[in-house]
Amino acid sequence: MTTTGQVGARRRLRVDPVACDGVGMCAHLATALVRLDSWGYPMVPDRDLEDAELGAAGKAVAGCPRRALELR
Amino acid sequence: MTSRPAAPRRTDADRAPATRPLPLLTDPVRVPLTGLGHGLAAQDLATHLATYGPHRAIDDLLTAVDEIGLTGQGGGHFPVAAKWRTVRESATRSGRAPLVVANGAEGEPASAKDQLLLATRPHLVLDGLAETAAAVGADETVLWLHGDAHLLHVAVHRAVAERRAAGLREPRVRVVSAPAHYLAGESGAVVRGLSGGPALPMTRRVPAAVEGVDGRPTLVHNVETLARTALLARTGAEAHRATALVTVVADGSRTVLEVDARAPVRVALLLAGWPVDVEPAAVLLGGYGGSWLPWDRAAHLELSPGALRAAGTSMGAGVLAPLPAGACGVAETARLTAYLAGSSARQCGPCVFGLAALADVLERLRTGDARRSDVERLRRWTGEIDGRGACHHPDGAVRMVRSALVTFARDVDAHRRHRPCGAAHAEALLPVPAGS
C-alpha cells in the first residue's frame, strides 16, 4: 500500500465527470497530459503517472475552477 | 432429500431442499410495448407458498449463491456473492448497519421482466429481499420503484401487508417512490436518491457495497436477482437450474419468458412466438445499450453469461429484439440513439454533448443526408465518449452504435451514399417512450 505524497507512489489523474464543466484550464496547465475531446472535456491518461509528470498534473488539479480533477 | 445432515436449529420436516428446480415463470407472458396492460394478477401469499413451498431450506445461502455463480440481473452481471462478502466485511470494519435495496425501477424501455415479476410474483421478490438481508446481517430493507408504476405499488403494498398479517419475521420493507425517469434505476442514482439527494448517477470513489446510502454498506439488487435468490434458498445449489429471464420484443408486443440458459437465441425467439420459417436480419441483444448482432451470429448463441461473454456480448437486461428482414437497422439505431441521448442525466459533458452528436449524425445518415466524413466521425466520437461518464449510460449507447456500424455496415454505406433504404422512413419497431 502506497501513501499519498510518498516518492514513487502510484498516482493517477482522475476527472470527476459530474463536476467538470469543460472549462479547459487543465489542458493549458498540463499540455502533455490532458487532451480535450471534440466537445472540450478533458481526457486524461488511463495509467499511473511518471514522477516527472506529477508537477504538471498537480498544477492542473490546483488550477481547475470546478475542483473536478484529482490526483490519487 | 435426506442425504444432507439436518442442521441443528432446523426442526421442520418441510424445510428439506426442493428436489426439483423451481421456475420463475411458468409460461411466457405477453404484454404491450409499454406498461403491462390489463389482466395480470399478483400471487397472494397462500398461492405463493403453494407454488414455491415454504421457507428457506438451506443454511449457507452465500455459498450456494457462489456455487451457482449468480450474477446481478439488472444488466451489470456482477457476481452476487462478491457483493455480499464486501457488504459483510465493510459492515464489520465500519460498524455501520448494512442496507439492502430491491431495485424495481426498470429503466430499459424494451424490458418488462422486472415489472412482470413484481406485478405477478411480489412474494418471491420479497422473500429474496428478506433472505438477502439475513445473509448480510441487514435489519432494514428498501424496495425502490418508479413513482408512476402504480400497478407495482399496489401489488407490492398488498404483499407487504399480507406478510405482516401472516406474522412473517423479516426486516421492515420501506417502499420508496423514485422519479419516473430512465436513469432512476441506475445503482448510483438509487444510492444518491436514498441518501437524500437527487436520484441521478454520481461519481463514485468506492462501491456502494463499501459505502452506500448515508455511508452504510449498501446492496442494490435488481428484483430478478432477488427472486432467483429466493428460489435458490428453497432448492439449494444441487437442484438449481440455470435459466435466463428474457423479454422478446417482436410484432408490436413484448413477451417475457424463462428459458434454459443453454438455449440459443433462436429457441428463445421461437418460444416467444417468432415464426419458425422466418429469419430476422439481426437481433439487438441486452437492451438499448446492448449490441446488434447479425442473425447468422446470434441464432445459435447460447444465452448463458459465459457463452455471451465469450462472444464479446452480454445478456444485459435480458432484451432480445429481432429486426425483421427488410426493416432498416440504420433507422432503428438512429431512433434509439436519439432516445438514449435524450435520457442522459445531463451531468457529464461527454454524455450530454457526445450522445447528442452521435444522434445528430445518425439522423442525417438515416435520411440519406450524411456528409462524406460522418461515418468516420461516428467512429472517432464513440472512442472519445466510451468510459467517460459517471455511470455506464454513455458506454451502452456507444456499444450499441458501434455494433450497428458493424452489423449494418452495408446499409450504413448505402445511406452514406445518399441512398437510404425504403424502410428508413417506416415507423419505429422498438418502443421509444415519448417526452424524454
Indicate the SS3 state at residue B323. strand
The answer, for A43 touching chain B at a CB cutoff of 8 Å, is yes
Residue A61 φ then ψ, to 5°: -65, -45
pLDDT of residue B88: 98
What is the distance between the alpha carbons of residues B280 and B14, in angstroms, rounded to a whole number?
48
Q: Is the pLDDT reported for residue B392 higher than 80?
A: yes
Say whether pLDDT at B4 is over 70: no
- Ranking B13-27, B96-110, B123-137, B259-273 by mean pLDDT, the lowest is B13-27
Q: What is the pLDDT of residue B7?
A: 42
List the grid coordinates of B175: 417502499
Q: Nine-digit cell at B363?
A: 439522423
Instruction: Output the nine-digit C-alpha cell for B404.
Output: 450497428
**Looking at residue B68, what is its pLDDT?**
95
The arithmetic mean of pLDDT across residues B24-29, rounded, is 92
Phi (first) and psi of residue B251, to 5 degrees: 60, 40
A-chain CB neighbours of B388 within 8 Å are: 15, 17, 37, 41, 43
- Please answer whether residues B171 and B141 qualify as being in contact, where contact means their C-beta atoms are separated by less than 8 angstroms: yes
pTM for this entry: 0.92
Contact at CB, A41 and B350, closer than 8 angstroms: yes
Closest Cα in chain B to A70? B205
Q: Which of A53-57, B21-25, B52-56, B102-106 has the lowest mean pLDDT?
A: B52-56
Instruction: Please give the pLDDT value at position B428.
Output: 84
Which phi-psi region, left, alpha or beta, contains residue B387 (left: φ > 0; alpha: ψ -120 to 50)?
Answer: left
Between A and B, how many CB-CB pairs are < 8 A? 47
Q: What is the pLDDT of residue B200?
A: 97
Residues B16, B11: Cα–Cα separation, whole Å? 10
Q: Tell whether B359 is within 8 A of chain A (Cβ).
A: no
> What's the whole-number average pLDDT of chain B?
92
End-to-end alpha carbon distance in chain B = 53
pLDDT digits (tens, 9 = 90+) for B78-92: 999 999 999 999 999
Q: What is the distance between the alpha carbons of residues A27 and B301, in angstroms, rounded to a whole number?
A: 45
pLDDT in the model for residue B3: 43
Residues on chain B touching A38 (C-beta within 8 angstroms): 353-354, 357, 380-381, 384
Helix intervals (H) in B137-200: 150-165, 187-194
Return d(Cα B107, Cα B182) in angstroms, integer.
Answer: 5
The cell numbers describing B230, all together, are 429466493
Contact B355, B388 (CB under 8 A): no
Test B203 with A43 for CB contact under 8 angstroms: no
Instruction: Name A43's bridge partners.
Output: A35
Helices B329-342 & B349-367 angle (0-180, nearest 10):
150
pLDDT at residue B8 above 50? no
The tally of CA atoms less than 13 A away on the side-chain side of residue A44 is 28
What pLDDT is stored for residue B57 in this prediction? 74
Cell of B341: 441521448
**R_g of chain A, CA atoms, integer Å:** 12
Instruction: Round to whole Å and give the CA distance between B96 and A36.
Output: 41
Residue B383: partners with Cβ closer than 8 Å, 6 or more residues away:
none
Cell (9 digits) for B148 = 408512476
Percentage with pLDDT > 90 across chain B: 83
Instruction: Return d(Cα B423, Cα B391) in angstroms, integer.
Output: 34
Question: How far is B343 from chain A, CA to nearest CA, in Å?
Answer: 16
Which of A4-18, B105-119, B157-171, B376-390 has the weakest average pLDDT? A4-18
Interior angle at CA B317, CA B312 and CA B319, nearest 5? 85
As given in the structure block, the three cell numbers for residue B227 are 427472486
Nearest by CB to B350, from A17, A19, A21: name it: A17
**Helix, strand, coil percent values for chain B (each to nearest 5):** 45, 15, 40
Other CB atoms within a 10 A radius of the CB of residue A31 amount to 11
Name the residue facing A39 among B203, B350, B380 (closest C-beta).
B350
The mean per-residue pLDDT over the stretch B218-243 comes to 95
Question: In the predicted model, is pLDDT for residue B393 greater than 90?
Answer: yes
Burial of B342 (0-12, 13-18, 19+ CB in 10 A): middle
What pLDDT, on a 0 to 100 scale, did the predictor assign at position A3? 43
Q: Is B379 on the interface with A (CB under 8 A)?
A: no
Which grid coordinates belong to B129?
Answer: 429481499
Q: What is the mean pLDDT of residues B310-314?
A: 91
Quick check: A2 pLDDT over 90? no
Assign B306 a pLDDT band (cuts: 50, 70, 90).
confident
pLDDT, tens digit (0-9, with 9 covering 90-100), for A5-21: 455 578 999 999 999 99
DSSP state string for B259-306: EETTSBHHHHHHHTT--TT---SEEEEESTTSEEEEHHHHTT-B-SHH
Bridge partners of residue B143, in order along the sequence: B102, B175
Residues near B225 by beta carbon (within 8 Å), at least 6 away in sequence: B70, B71, B72, B73, B74, B80, B128
CB-CB neighbors (< 8 A) of B350 in chain A: 17, 37, 39, 41
